[in-house]
Amino acid sequence: MVARLGPLLALLAFGAPLPATLQDPSPLASASAETATEHTHHHQQSVLLARAVTPLADDPSCTPADRVFIERSYQLARQSVQEGGFPFGAVLVVDGAIVAEYRNSTASSQDPTRHAELGLISTFAPKLGREAFRRGTLYASSEPCIMCVGAILNAGLLRVVYGTTQTQFQRVIGDHPQPSPLTIREIIGRTNPAITVKGPLLEKEGLAIHESFWPWALRTWGRDRS
């Protein structure tokens, strides 16, 4: 999630459910039923009020498997919203199988660092070990922010795939991206070029998630929610 938005601060079957030790242990349903009901009530209106953003073309180097796992990250983002959180999800895949996943939990934990990517890394690195991250691919529903890129660099990951471009969902929110935005590709390219970054992928789907959330969130909380 973009750092400047910090103050603002659904499941596809992949065989059997993940073991309990590999699921996000953070409280995911702390939002009140009233808040979730209100979000559902305003969903259609929010879509109408959202700023239309033309999705970027898929990164042609992404594989069919990448599409499957990005779809999973989008499902986690939707689930996060349904539970009163923010629209971001992340998945770690090793040898073609999901071994860890995490939904943004900044709202439920009141911890502004619990973004999907950083939350996944900090939660599962002690359980899975550095080798799993080195062999794996991290799938993020939206382009990781600078904070999460730092975690990616330190976790030993060598491949990252993201769904929705950061500047694209900034436009949905109504922000105006900088003329030369700092992207994950630039940060990785200047710090560890051995890491491969792919994306965007299925951005139309990702933008739809943001378009259904941010107009309602801004109207409900404003830009200064803490």
Active site residues: 117
With vertex at residue 159, the alpha carbon angle to CA 14 and CA 138, rounded to the nearest 5 degrees, is 40
Report which of 158, 149, 160 is spatially closest to residue 62, judged by C-alpha positions: 160
How would you write 26-69 as a 3-class SS string?
CCCCCCCHHHHHHHHHHHHHHHHHCCCCCCCCCCCCCCHHHHHH
Beta carbons within 8 Å of 14's beta carbon, 6+ residues apart: 72, 97, 98
Q: Token digits for 89? A: 């999800």
Question: Does the bond joining 179 to the residue before it have cis omega, within 30 degrees of 0?
Answer: no
Report which of 133, 168, 177, 134 is spatially closest to residue 55, judged by C-alpha positions: 168
Which residue type occupies 155? A
